Structure 1
Amino acid sequence: MTKKKFQGATLECVQGDIANQPDMDAVVNAANARLLMGGGVAGAIHRAAGPGLEEECRPLAPIDPGQAVITGAHNLPNRHVIHCLGPVYGRDNPSDQLLAECYRNALQLAEQNGLQSVAFPALSTGAFGYPPEPAARIAINTVIEHLPGLKSVTHVRFVLFSSSDQQIYETLFDEISG
């Protein structure tokens, strides 16, 4: 785990399971447009949360790339799940702006709901094909850019599935001066 203080907030990157972050107010789901159970992050979150999550999501769908919606966490150990639809790399353009919107919109929902902590997966990097290093750079830069405007959110964690993804985030964390 790598932890960094930046502008009064704690930024972390850890290798782990996004569906098992009991100390975080919200986890972010790498959702599909219909907000249904899928593979990867969406599958893990929906399986852990139980069928109530999909029921709550149904009237909120569909969402477009870059959009985010918030629900309860159901059987997860968190208060909320923030569902983001990341861009499919090479199809949804401009992919860098749409990916940044995911992080920005998730942080805005967390702030609007008075949440202090949010855990993000590496959005769009799995089945959606976004290259991990540019995706990590967008994620970290977008979060840092929006920290000064956040009053309640003081802890952001990036939960990464693979050790190679964690290494990318750790390298980028080393570039942060804070």
Structure 2
Amino acid sequence: MSTPHTYFLQFIRAFFHRPRKLVTKSDTIEPDEESVLNSCSSPHPSCLFCGVSKERGFSVVWENEVFAVFTDIDPASEHHLQLVPKHHIGKLSPLRDMVEIAHNILDGLAVPPHLRRIGFHIPPYISVPHLHMHIQALPYRSIFRKLKYPVVAGWSGREKGVSWFVDAEQAVRILEKGSQVRILPC
């Protein structure tokens, strides 16, 4: 017998699936197909986000030799972009560069700071096992889209509360402390 709780769980599973391991701060992360960050400087042939380019059908709006920014295939807001390293990376040092790039992109779109959402889904709630940052200009197109990207402030010395999405600045602070980014408060 189906209950409202069962329907809610089915709804959540429709948005988020495929378990992934947590990422911790370290100089190098062991190669592991289940990691969000893989220690690999070359493209993985089966990875959707490796080697992002216009030739591969992505709507690239900005790129350099390391990163690419493209429009999200199913945008949650008017401006919803993805920022990805062109190859899997094994170091967390580019996160600050990614935050700066995201803000520069949103500056170019004249999005005021209070209408910006920049961050990452936390494993297991990721759809592509390649580091990718969501860059969004609020408001969201629907309440359901908003629910997919909740940013929850922390308490009692924690950076974030219970959430499957982490603001990019929260993620950087958590990792710099040597902690794990996870769904539970950290």
Q: Which has the higher contact order (CA 8 A, sep 6+)?
A: 1
Q: Which has the higher helix share?
A: 1
Instruction: Look at both structures and tell me which one has the larger radius of gyration over its CA atoms.
Output: 2
Shorter-normalised TM-score: what interval?
Answer: 0.3 to 0.5
TM-score normalized by the length of structure 2: 0.34
